[in-house]
């Protein structure tokens, strides 16, 4: 049984998608938030998952906050730590501690649009496709070996909310898939820094994400 700790800062819909996926061989050991008012905490508690708040505002600096966060996480000795809308910049030390077992989801096709307001920036840039990326976390913000991406079209009449909703639906599909692969031991980061998904056929030209269902 693989143990997973999920970190959230707000709504928690990606956490919810992972919990609802009920991935065989996994146990969501805890949901941890840096914000006491994070909506996601209520969902987790209602599903019998341990919850914990590590409020960043009561810690003097990032190092102190990350140390407290690591303590809360390590209490559950997780095999995997999942950032699901966790909106804090993490210290290098924290990232190193969980190297190879720390995943993040970002609402853009990285390396395009790291940071905030990705949907607004995609609309402003006039891109024709947009999407979401699950990646292993490195010490660079919204950067790291890509596990899976989903692409959505940008429509002429899109506003930020419409585009965000289209992307979010895909986030809820690809994040559980990435976790499924991880816990099945199918993800490896090659010497070239790229993620290989064991047993996944080369999707061939025309595909922008590996075929699902593996
Ligand atoms: C998601 O869209 C996620 O990709 C994004 O925050 C949202 C959280 O929603 N994360 C980032 O921007 C990280 N850089 P959720 O709380 O409903 O999962």
Which residue's alpha carbon is nearest to atom 3 within ligand 1? 85
Task: Give the mean model confidence (pLDDT) for residues 167-174.
Answer: 96
The CB density around residue 154, as the number of other CB atoms within 10 Å, is 19
Residue 74 CB contacts under 8 Å (≥ 6 apart), including other chains: none
Q: Residue 212 phi/psi, 5° resolution?
A: -90, 170
Q: What is the pLDDT of residue 60?
A: 96
Q: What is the pLDDT of residue 140?
A: 87
Q: How far is CA 101 from CA 86, 120, 183, 204, in A?
A: 16, 31, 10, 28
Are 125 and 164 within one domain?
Answer: yes
How does residue 209 score in pLDDT terms, banded at 50, 70 and 90?
Answer: low
Q: Annotated catalytic, 47?
A: no
Task: Please report, rounded to a whole number, the percentage of residues in the chain having pLDDT higher than 70.
Answer: 93
Are 94 and 159 within one domain?
Answer: no
pTM of the shown model: 0.94
Among the listed residues 170, 198, 168, the one whose alpha carbon sits nearest the alpha carbon of residue 183:
198
Which residue's alpha carbon is nearest to atom 9 within ligand 1? 85
Which residue's alpha carbon is nearest to atom 7 within ligand 1? 85
**Which residue reads 């950067």 in tokens?**
143
Among the listed residues 177, 213, 159, 179, the one whose alpha carbon sits nearest the alpha carbon of residue 27:
179
Are 79 and 122 within one domain?
Answer: no
Which residues constitute the domain of residue 185?
106-133+149-214
Q: Which of 47, 56, 76, 106 is catalytic?
A: 106
Q: What is the pLDDT of residue 78?
A: 98
CB 92 within 8 A of CB 115: no
Mutation test residue for ligand 1: of 39, 82, 84, the one with most atoms within 8 Å of CB: 84
Using omega within 30 degrees of 0 as the cis cutoff, is the peptide bond preceding 10 cis?
no
Q: What is the pLDDT of residue 203?
A: 54
Q: Which atom of ligand 1 is nearest to the CA of 114?
A: 14
Dump pLDDT digits (tens) for 64-116: 999 999 999 999 999 999 999 999 999 999 999 999 999 999 999 999 999 99
Q: How many domains does the chain have?
A: 2
Are 111 and 207 within one domain?
Answer: yes
Q: Say how far apart CA 59 and CA 45 lie, in whole Å.
A: 25
Mutation test residue for ligand 1: of 21, 42, 85, the one with most atoms within 8 Å of CB: 85
Q: What is the pLDDT of residue 213?
A: 38
Whether 167 shows a pLDDT value over 60: the answer reads: yes
Q: Is the CB of 105 under 6 A from ligand 1?
A: yes
Are 13 and 35 within one domain?
Answer: yes
Dump pLDDT digits (tens) for 45-65: 999 999 999 999 999 999 999
Whether 124 shows a pLDDT value over 60: the answer reads: yes
Q: What is the pLDDT of residue 202?
A: 58
Cα of 11 vs its chain's centroid, Å: 13
Q: Say how far apart CA 79 and CA 101 lie, in whole Å.
A: 7
Q: Is the CB of 173 under 6 A from ligand 1?
A: no
């Amino acid at each position: 049984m693989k143990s997973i700790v999920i970190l959230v800062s707000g709504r928690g819909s990606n956490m919810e998608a992972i919990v609802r996926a009920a991935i065989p061989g996994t146990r969501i050991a805890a949901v941890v938030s840096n914000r006491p008012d994070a909506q996601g905490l209520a969902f987790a508690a209602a599903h019998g998952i341990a919850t914990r708040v590590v409020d960043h505002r009561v810690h003097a600096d990032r190092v102190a906050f990350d140390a407290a966060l690591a303590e809360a996480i390590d209490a559950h000795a997780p095999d995997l730590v999942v950032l699901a809308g966790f909106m804090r910049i993490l210290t290098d030390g924290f990232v190193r501690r969980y190297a190879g077992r720390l995943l993040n989801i970002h609402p853009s096709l990285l390396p395009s649009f790291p940071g905030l307001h990705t949907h607004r920036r995609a609309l402003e840039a006039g891109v024709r496709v947009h999407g979401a990326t699950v990646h292993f976390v490195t010490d660079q913000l919204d950067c790291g070996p890509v596990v899976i991406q989903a692409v959505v079209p940008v429509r002429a009449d899109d506003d930020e909310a419409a585009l965000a909703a289209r992307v979010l639906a895909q986030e809820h599909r690809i994040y559980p898939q990435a976790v499924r692969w991880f816990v099945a031991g199918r993800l490896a980061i090659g010497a070239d820094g790229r993620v290989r998904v064991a047993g996944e056929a080369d999707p061939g030209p025309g595909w922008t994400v590996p075929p699902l269902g593996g």
